[in-house]
């Protein structure tokens, strides 16, 4: 009997490894999550082995979708344009929870303590705060600009939000021309600061990688707003007329197919690499005094300006007329020489380069060819291509430990 039992256990142990290999085992610290905007799904890739792990579908209208990750990078919180927040389990490849935050939403952030999600809304104007575990709504903050005698209220659309090292959330009011700060540590999530008249139509925000300096972009003003999150004393004006389309500078003006957002700025070596509006160039600012260091010509009108981990290169996608060479080209800028060192023909509609956590590879959405391309960043050679349905935003799970992402 003992011999029979021993033989049984040996067979059982021998069978276990083969059964375990039936299912792919992976961690979550180095995933790439790609939005398939027309399909309402996300595709999840292992960015070490460069393998497609699976897809999660049924996420709603993803035409302007963005996402944040839980601190352990197990969950991706995806906000759809129709205001639906989905909590996606990146291990189970399924939606664990879903909630309706608003009718029309545009941005999402997760608090420093991982407990709460904030969503910015166009309709109704304001922000919604949800419990990150259950997605239960815990508070709504209306972005009220004016209250009339009859009790009706005029609301503003909101944009952002961004998280800070002090567990604050900052967001902009588009029609309100204001910036509000919410303390996520205090009970009831009070608005502790309201900066009024910061400029005409805040439309996007950026926070420096260390989380200290917050910048707000303004659609109709010749400056951007700068806030020191340590002091929270004032939103200062930074002249950005150099970023506006050239009139007498001799630079070529072209159509603006997409407005470059502040989140697409790159910061490296004390410099900010900023896409110009309606021109084929990147403007380099000295972040100590926000003076212009140089303008770097690129293939088209730049959209995303992404720093390779390590800080020696900046990768730029370009927008142009459909079918043009510009929309196929990704330019690589050397931070040492402040010039383009390499141009890559990545395919029709190449957008949104996103690096693996240590920068050895980069993922690029090639929207008009329905694929995701992966390049070796040392050799600039194509490593792999994956079919994808109209891919757009790419999000690396290492954002889980970064401010403002």
Q: What residue segments make up the domains of the chain, in order of their start?
A: 60-206
pLDDT values of the chain reduced to their tens digit, one per residue, 405 residues = 555 545 544 444 444 444 445 678 899 999 999 999 989 999 999 999 999 999 999 999 898 889 999 999 999 999 999 999 999 999 999 999 999 999 999 899 999 999 999 999 999 999 999 999 999 999 999 999 888 788 788 999 999 899 999 999 999 999 999 999 999 999 999 999 999 999 999 988 889 989 999 999 888 888 889 999 999 999 999 887 776 655 444 455 556 666 666 676 899 999 999 888 778 999 999 999 888 999 999 999 999 999 999 999 999 999 887 878 889 999 999 999 999 999 999 999 999 999 999 999 999 999 999 999 999 999 999 999 999 999 999 999 999 999 988
For the beta carbon of residue 269, count every other beta carbon within 10 angstroms.
Answer: 14
Here the tokens at position 287 are 């972040």
Q: Is 263 helix (H, G, I), strand (E, B) or coil?
A: helix
The CATH class of the 60-206 domain is mainly beta
pLDDT for 259: 67
pLDDT for 94: 97
Exposed / middle / buried, residue 183 (Cβ in 10 Å: 0-12, 13-18, 19+): middle
pLDDT for 85: 97
Q: Is 382 helix (H, G, I), strand (E, B) or coil?
A: strand
Burial 353-390 (b: 16+ CB within 10 A, else e): bbbbbebebbbbbbbbbbbbbbbebeeeeeebebebbb
pLDDT for 145: 87
pLDDT for 38: 87
pLDDT for 148: 77
Strand pairing report for 339-345 and 350-355: unpaired
pTM: 0.90
């Amino acid at each position: 009997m003992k011999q029979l039992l021993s033989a049984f256990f040996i067979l059982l142990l021998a069978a276990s490894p083969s059964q375990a290999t039936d299912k792919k085992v992976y961690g979550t610290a180095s995933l790439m999550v790609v939005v398939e905007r027309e399909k309402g799904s996300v595709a999840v890739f292992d960015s070490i082995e460069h393998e497609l792990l699976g897809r999660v579908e049924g996420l709603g209208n993803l035409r302007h979708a963005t996402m944040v990750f839980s601190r352990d990078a197990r969950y991706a919180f995806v906000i759809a344009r129709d205001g639906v927040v989905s909590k996606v389990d990146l291990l189970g490849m399924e939606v664990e929870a879903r909630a309706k935050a608003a009718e029309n939403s545009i941005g999402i952030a997760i608090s420093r303590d991982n407990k709460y999600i904030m969503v910015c809304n166009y309709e109704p104007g304001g922000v919604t705060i949800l419990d990150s575990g259950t997605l239960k709504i815990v508070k709504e903050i209306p972005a009220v600009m004016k209250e009339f005698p009859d009790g009706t209220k005029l609301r503003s659309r909101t944009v952002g939000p961004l998280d800070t090292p002090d567990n604050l959330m900052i967001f902009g009011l588009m029609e309100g021309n204001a910036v509000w700060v919410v303390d996520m540590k205090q009970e009831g999530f009070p608005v502790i600061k309201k900066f009024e008249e910061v400029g005409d139509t805040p439309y996007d925000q950026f926070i420096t990688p260390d989380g200290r300096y917050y910048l707000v972009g303004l659609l109709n003003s010749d400056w951007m707003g700068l806030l020191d999150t340590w002091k929270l004393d004032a939103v200062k004006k930074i002249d950005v007329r150099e970023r506006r389309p050239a009139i007498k500078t001799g630079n070529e003006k072209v159509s603006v197919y997409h407005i470059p957002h502040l989140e697409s700025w790159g910061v490296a070596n004390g410099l900010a690499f900023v896409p110009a509006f309606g021109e084929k160039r990147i403007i380099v600012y000295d972040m100590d005094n926000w003076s212009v260091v140089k303008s770097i010509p690129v293939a088209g009108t730049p959209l995303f300006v992404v720093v390779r981990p390590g800080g020696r290169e900046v990768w730029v996608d370009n927008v142009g007329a459909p079918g043009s060479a510009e929309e196929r080209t990704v330019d690589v800028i050397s931070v040492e020489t402040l010039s383009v060192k390499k141009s890559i023909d990545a395919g029709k509609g190449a957008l949104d380069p996103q690096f693996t956590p240590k920068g050895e590879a980069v993922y690029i959405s090639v929207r008009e060819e329905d694929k995701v391309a992966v390049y070796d960043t040392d050799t600039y050679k194509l490593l792999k291509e994956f079919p994808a349905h109209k891919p757009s935003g790419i999000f690396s799970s290492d954002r889980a430990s970064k401010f403002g992402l």
